[in-house]
Amino acid sequence: MPQAGGAAYRPGMSRHVIRPFAEADLPAAAGLLAERHREHRKRHPLLPAEYEDEQVAVVEVTALWESESASGAVLLEGDELTGYVLGAPKPSPVWGPNVWIEAAGQAVREPEHIRDLYGAAAAKWVDDGRTAQYVLVPDDAELVDAWFRLGFGSQHAHAVRPAPTTRLEAPPGLTVRRGTRDDIAVLAELDLVLPQHQGQSPVFSAGELPTLEEALADWEESIDDLDYATFVAEYDGRVIGSSVGCSVDKSSAHSGLARPDNAGFLGYAAVLPEARGRGAGRALGEAVLQWSADTGYTAVVTDWRVTNLLSSRTWPKLGFQQTFHRLHRLIGY
């Protein structure tokens, strides 16, 4: 349940007061969030419009506030709430002793004030041992800069683009087709390629690596699932890569303000290391784009680790524009 704690204090200017986030702050925080989202959608109109409504935005902020061990801070100028930050931990051990500020977890009138709000809220988080800290920041340059000046660095990108309106074709020498049961062995092998790549320099991801046996069993069960579109790329008659598309509704990483309406999702793409450089990754991404358009989606979403040199260069070239930055800070080192 939400945790308060801490006393009000003034961050250097007498007309500003910062105190712990309280349940009574939810309506005002929702108003700030709706205001922030309206500005965000001027740059990214594919983001969902409903969160411009304070009555919808308050549902998102309330859900965060009611998360286990949620806490945060608000900034007051006179009687007006002009900024807030709200974080909560995730149970998965892969994130370390963590706290997350999700897409609805912050809004400020002045970007610089996020530094004061974090300073107030983070003391409790660190006292609680939550030293691995994550924040999802809209691509407002001043706001991102303010978080950078709090010691956060860029870790992950969330991005969107319109579904294509003209047909996309694979480059010469490559064939891209739908995956079948005959491809299960190589699809399982390709399931290991991305996590193996991201465990290496310069990503150094701590994500769990599945076994080949687990991947085989998963494909045996899921290859016929109509909710997912699996593609393979062939070169000289050999499968060298795969990609998977689905509805963005299947993705827990893209929710609320970060989930466009009626969108497909480029959920996975990998190419065997020895077969890279032939344009297979781009072709596999384009296959999901084309599938999304053919299915009737009006937008396509994807995400990538920014330290993954391959995906961070390939997906922007396919027209994906970053909407949110996941930033990360590890306290104490």
Per-residue pLDDT band for 218 (boundaries 50, 70, 90) equals very high
| 56 in any annotated domain | yes
Q: How many CB atoms lie within 10 A of CB 75?
A: 24
232 pLDDT more than 90: yes
Per-residue pLDDT at 7 = 47
Per-residue pLDDT at 14 = 52
* Structure tokens that stand for 275 in this block: 């077969």
Which amino acid type is present at position 157? A
* Structure tokens that stand for 90 in this block: 């995730």
The angle at the Cα of 234, spanning 233 to 240, to the nearest 5 degrees, equals 70
Q: Examine the fold and report which residue of 107, 122, 151 is the final residue of a domain before the chain moves on.
A: 151
Per-residue pLDDT at 3 = 53
139 and 171 in one domain?
no
Per-residue pLDDT at 278 = 92
| 333 in any annotated domain | no
Q: Examine the fold and report which residue of 116, 151, 186 is the final residue of a domain before the chain moves on.
A: 151
Domain count, the chain: 2
222 and 303 in one domain?
yes
| 294 in any annotated domain | yes
168 and 126 in one domain?
no
285 and 207 in one domain?
yes
* Mean pLDDT calculated for residue range 70-96: 95
* Mean pLDDT calculated for residue range 257-285: 96
* Mean pLDDT calculated for residue range 81-95: 94
| 310 in any annotated domain | yes
The angle at the Cα of 48, spanning 47 to 50, to the nearest 5 degrees, equals 150
Alpha helix ranges (H) inside 128-268: 141-148, 184-198, 212-222
Q: What domain range is 188 assigned to?
A: 161-321
249 and 205 in one domain?
yes
* Mean pLDDT calculated for residue range 181-204: 95
Per-residue pLDDT at 170 = 83
41 and 73 in one domain?
yes
106 and 71 in one domain?
yes
DSSP state of 150: T
232 and 91 in one domain?
no
Listed ranges 3-17, 164-178, 232-246; the one with the highest mean pLDDT: 232-246
DSSP state of 318: T
* Structure tokens that stand for 251 in this block: 């993705």
- pTM, 2 dp: 0.92
Q: Examine the fold and report which residue of 117, 151, 185 is the final residue of a domain before the chain moves on.
A: 151
333 pLDDT more than 80: no
Per-residue pLDDT band for 112 (boundaries 50, 70, 90) equals very high
Q: Report the SS3 class of residue 157.
A: strand
Mean pLDDT of the chain, nearest integer: 94
* Mean pLDDT calculated for residue range 107-117: 98
304 and 208 in one domain?
yes
Per the listing, tokens 């969330």 go with 158
Strands 263-271 and 299-305, by their bridges, are parallel
If one compares 261 and 206, the residue with the highest pLDDT of the two is: 261
| 200 in any annotated domain | yes
- For residue range 130-188, list pLDDT tens digits in order: 999 999 999 999 999 999 999 999 999 999 999 999 988 888 889 999 999 999 999 99
Query: Strand (E) positions, 5-69?
Result: 16-20
pLDDT over 70 percentage in the chain? 96
Per-residue pLDDT at 249 = 96
Q: How many CB atoms lie within 10 A of CB 62?
A: 16
| 156 in any annotated domain | no
pLDDT over 90 percentage in the chain? 89
CB contact at 8 A, 42 and 49 = no
| 171 in any annotated domain | yes
268 and 142 in one domain?
no
Per-residue pLDDT band for 15 (boundaries 50, 70, 90) equals confident
CATH classification at residue 261: 3.40.630.30
304 and 169 in one domain?
yes
89 and 25 in one domain?
yes
Question: Poorest-confidence range of 199-208, 249-258, 300-309, 324-333?
Answer: 199-208
| 230 in any annotated domain | yes
94 pLDDT more than 50: yes
